[in-house]
Homo-oligomer: A and B are copies of this chain.
């Protein structure tokens, strides 16, 4: 049975990645141990870390100014770690969605937050390009892709202030000038790996001396010094990340992946725009290529539509519980075929009920 998995995260992973991760859980090294049984201080794991780090840097074209960490606690813990480590007095944030807002709320517990733009009143359907980053703030924080509402930043500002970006839902999905960023973080369970691991990429020179007595687990400097094994990391998820990054590399790198992602999202947005029964509420230039949200124009047809897509083995199409409607999360691993199946259902639905 072919399943079309549009889950927003944890979500679809490449078949090969799953196969290889299974192989490693059964038998990882020359001793016949499971990946789950090897020490995080073993040579075996050292190699995994080195390979994964190199793949991240290689795919993103990052130079030696950057370090890559593999931590725990999701983007949520980064909402705290970022201001804890980088805020002296005040930082600037873009409020482009529910997760962006969560980041702001956590930062406010630690210091002063200046919100340069909030899309909240307009239900986050667009992202302003007309904001100015003050020179005096310690950093500028943004969310590259807003998973819930389905918007995506297409342009990142030029500024002398470090740019901190939550890329949880679109990391490795498109080519950017990653050297523009001071810090990038992303929880793994969308485009990268299994849940329970966060990739944090830091330009070393943005690390400052704060006057805070930072708890060790929240201190980037300690994790950097200990190469992500200050305490036992999520070995399984790091290994699975390595497999996904290899898969991306073998596909031809991020540019090729981006091309396919654009193709998939274009097809789906075209259908939503064309189809009389659906609408997407996002400003066209801000539409996400990862999370495509849409609504029925006639709410009373919900049951009919739900029955139809479920019958086609589509899963995870429900919109976020706060927003309702539908959301097709079309991450790197989702094949064009699945998007086509969804489009066909939408067409057929229109044919019957329009």
Enumerate chain A interface residues (CB-CB to B < 8 A): 1, 3, 5, 7-13, 18, 21-22, 25-26, 31-34, 36-40, 72-77, 79-80, 84, 102, 105-106, 109-110, 187, 189, 193-197, 213-218, 230-237, 240, 313, 315-316
CB-CB under 8 A from A80, the residues of chain B are 215-218
Q: Is the CB of A234 within 8 A of B195?
A: yes
Q: Is the CB of B232 within 8 A of A36?
A: no
The residue that A31 contacts in the complex, of B3, B79, B102, B105, with Cβ under 8 A, is B3
Q: Is the CB of B215 within 8 A of A106?
A: yes
Cα-based distance from A284 to B47 in the complex (angstroms):
40
Which residue, A13, A33, A79, A316, has most C-beta atoms of chain B within 10 A?
A33
The minimal Cβ–Cβ distance linking A189 to chain B, given in whole angstroms, is 5
Q: A13-B34, A22-B25, A215-B106 are in contact. Are A234 and B1 (CB under 8 A)?
A: no
The minimal Cβ–Cβ distance linking A215 to chain B, given in whole angstroms, is 4
CB-CB under 8 A from A39, the residues of chain B are 7-10, 316
Q: A38-B10, A316-B39 are in contact. Are A234 and B231 (CB under 8 A)?
A: no
CB-CB under 8 A from A25, the residues of chain B are 18, 21-22, 25
Q: What are 13 A-B contacts defined by CB distance under 8 Å?
A: A3-B31, A10-B39, A10-B232, A13-B37, A22-B26, A31-B313, A72-B72, A73-B77, A77-B215, A109-B215, A194-B234, A196-B196, A234-B234
The residue that A189 contacts in the complex, of B73, B110, B232, with Cβ under 8 A, is B232
